[in-house]
Structure 1
Amino acid sequence: MEIPHAVKPRPDTGLYNAKLGIWLFLASEVMLFGGLFSAYILLRVSSDLWPHGMVSIPVGTFNTFVLIASSVTVVMSWASLKLGKLADFKKYMALTILCALGFLSVKSFEYYAKFTHYDVWFKDQATAQKYFTAAYGEKGEEAARKLFVERFHLQNTKATYDANQVQIAGHIEGNPLFATLKKLTSAKKDTIQFTPDAPSGTHEHPKAIEVKLSDVHRLSAYVPAHSTYFAIYFTITALHGLHVLGGAIVLTYFLLTSDKWWKKNPEQLANRVEVGGLFWHFVDLVWIFLFPIIYLL
């Protein structure tokens, strides 16, 4: 038995089944991401110390243009089917998929940079000061204060400098992934070679310092367990990335099976691509909201 309204619109809604279904699905997606965005806003406004400058604006901007370009190419692929140009459909759909893979590749490099970048908290202020002086010379205390003020934009909040919350940021020798104090001590390491970050706006290159693990209170890469900021950052961006991946898989299926569907029912192929395109536009729209609140504000 043939399913009715798979191609032609339903008389009650004016939409064919798949289009009605995707709009209902997207409504649930709006509620999902709306809840996450609301959580982000509430967490941020309720925190006196919220980090800034933890993500690369140029990288985020590049990915924004990649997704905007993919929105254009997916529309062109659908329009090509409507005009009866299967070859053009394949070309534009392939470009859309390449944009998706490009976005995910850039995001994976961005994640890798986070997973190999560490903050170290020391057991007391005196110990922290010792390591800041070793890294930055006599201006160790000044560098610590500057890094703290830059990270939390203290000039824009009611919070004040707290030496007890200062951590030194940088890279561990060898760039290990997901290292923690527990893992390092379990591996019977007593010290690590740590290269601190340079304060922004300077051309200084702090020298690597040897850090005794016995002096460390906590050590964490920029992972969800690091802080509330990274917990919500990875939750939202990873979920969005999964949507990009899922959309790319569906669009790839349409591309690979297009010859068969073109011979069987060209209009149904166009409808499928239209539905996939609606989902793709939603994925792009989520990023348009995500980019400013994560990268710019």
Structure 2
Amino acid sequence: MADQTMTTADSEKPIFYVEDYHAPGSTMFGFWIYLMSDTLIFAVLFATYGVLGHAYAGGPTPKETLELPLVALNTAMLLLSSITYGFAMLEMERNDKTKTLLWLAVTGLFGIAFVGLELHEFSGLIAEGAGPWRSAYLSSFFTLVGTHGLHVTIGIIWLVTLMAQVMIHGLGEDNRRRLTCLSLFWHFLDVIWIGVFSVVYLLGALG
């Protein structure tokens, strides 16, 4: 008869266990799905603005409310932040933690400047009586531009969180994957903003 003796150590071993493993490819695939869903959200907001963008209800028109020089400066802030994030990714590939953090910090400052200028624009419009409640045009304008600004704000919070993780844990595989995901998100917001700038501001000022 086979020996049925089981030691204490053997009895404490789990019969079934789940290996703590997270495939990097699954993270990137899931993040691409998220970006596609976000693209659909912005597509709906652009379509809504296209329908309501001329419903002024006797209120101010884009020519009367939009300040192209301010928006051009804001656009420059966001585009520069995308360039500096690219520098951060290059330093990450070189495994230079200090320079990676430096460029991430510069990116965050450009992002904060972008959000600050956008809030300044919104507060100025509201002070002039051109708030989102004034007309369908202004409602769609504030919703589209504000949703993008909210995304940038979330990106800044994400950026600060990742900087803390890099400072503590370095440029390991997990943090590299997270920085890559944020890079995709940040450049995605740049592309969306180019659409906003062209459709809302440039066409609005010319229309």
TM-score bin (small chain) = 0.7 to 0.9
Q: Does the Cα contact within 8 Å between 2:81 and 2:111 map onto a contact in 1? A: yes
In structure 2, what is the Cα distance between the partners aligned to 1:258 and 1:79? Answer: 15
In structure 1, what is the Cα distance between the partners aligned to 2:77 and 2:55? Answer: 33
In structure 2, what is the Cα distance between the partners aligned to 1:296 and 1:61? Answer: 10
Q: Which residue, out of 85, 93, 96, partners 2:104?
A: 93
Compared with structure 1, are the counterparts of its residues 271 and 277 closer, same or farther at alpha carbon in structure 2 (3 Å cutoff)? same
Q: Which residue, out of 36, 40, 52, partners 2:62?
A: 52
Q: Which runs of 5+ in 2 are unaligned?
A: 1-18
Q: Could you say which residue in structure 2 is the equivalent of 1:291?
A: 197
Q: Which residue, out of 21, 34, 46, partners 1:3?
A: 21
Identity %: 26
Q: Does the Cα contact within 8 Å between 1:261 and 1:268 map onto a contact in 2? A: no
Q: Does the Cα contact within 8 Å between 1:81 and 1:266 map onto a contact in 2? A: no
Q: Could you say which residue in structure 1 is the equivalent of 2:39?
A: 30
Q: 2:22 is aligned with what amino acid?
A: P
Compared with structure 1, are the counterparts of its residues 45 and 224 closer, same or farther at alpha carbon in structure 2 (3 Å cutoff)? closer
SS of residue matched to 1:257? helix
Q: 2:47 is aligned with what amino acid?
A: S
- 1:89 to partner: Cα distance: 0.2
Q: Number of matched residues?
A: 183
Correspondence 1:116 to 2:123 = no
Give the 5 Å matches for 1:187-202. Answer: none
Q: Could you say which residue in structure 1 is the equivalent of 2:7?
A: none
Q: Could you say which residue in structure 2 is the equivalent of 1:82?
A: 93
Q: Does the Cα contact within 8 Å between 1:63 and 1:106 map onto a contact in 2? A: yes
Q: Does the Cα contact within 8 Å between 2:91 and 2:97 map onto a contact in 1? A: yes
Give the 5 Å matches for 1:132-281. Answer: 221-262=129-170, 266-281=172-187
- 1:259 to partner: Cα distance: 2.4
SS of residue matched to 2:118? helix
TM-score between both structures, scaled by the size of structure 2: 0.83
Q: 2:181 is aligned with what amino acid?
A: V
Q: 1:108 is aligned with what amino acid?
A: L
SS of residue matched to 2:80? helix
Q: Does the Cα contact within 8 Å between 1:66 and 1:99 map onto a contact in 2? A: yes
Structure number having the greater strand percentage: 1
Q: Which runs of 5+ in 1 are unaligned?
A: 7-15, 118-220
Structure number having the greater helix percentage: 2
In structure 2, what is the Cα distance between the partners aligned to 1:2 and 1:260? Answer: 22
TM-score between both structures, scaled by the size of structure 1: 0.58
- 1:47 to partner: Cα distance: 7.7
Q: 1:291 is aligned with what amino acid?
A: F
- What RMSD, in angstroms, separates the aligned Cα atoms of the two structures? 1.8
Q: Per chain length, whose mean CA-contact separation is higher, i.e. which structure has more relative contact order (CA < 8 Å, sep 6+)? A: 2
SS of residue matched to 2:131? coil
- 1:270 to partner: Cα distance: 1.3
- 1:112 to partner: Cα distance: 1.3
Deviation per residue, 1:151-190 (Å, 9 max, x gap):
xxxxxxxxxxxxxxxxxxxxxxxxxxxxxxxxxxxxxxxx
In structure 1, what is the Cα distance between the partners aligned to 2:154 and 2:178? Answer: 15
Q: Does the Cα contact within 8 Å between 2:56 and 2:135 map onto a contact in 1? A: no
Q: Which has the larger radius of gyration?
A: 1
In structure 2, what is the Cα distance between the partners aligned to 1:41 and 1:70? Answer: 28
Compared with structure 1, are the counterparts of its residues 44 and 222 closer, same or farther at alpha carbon in structure 2 (3 Å cutoff)? closer
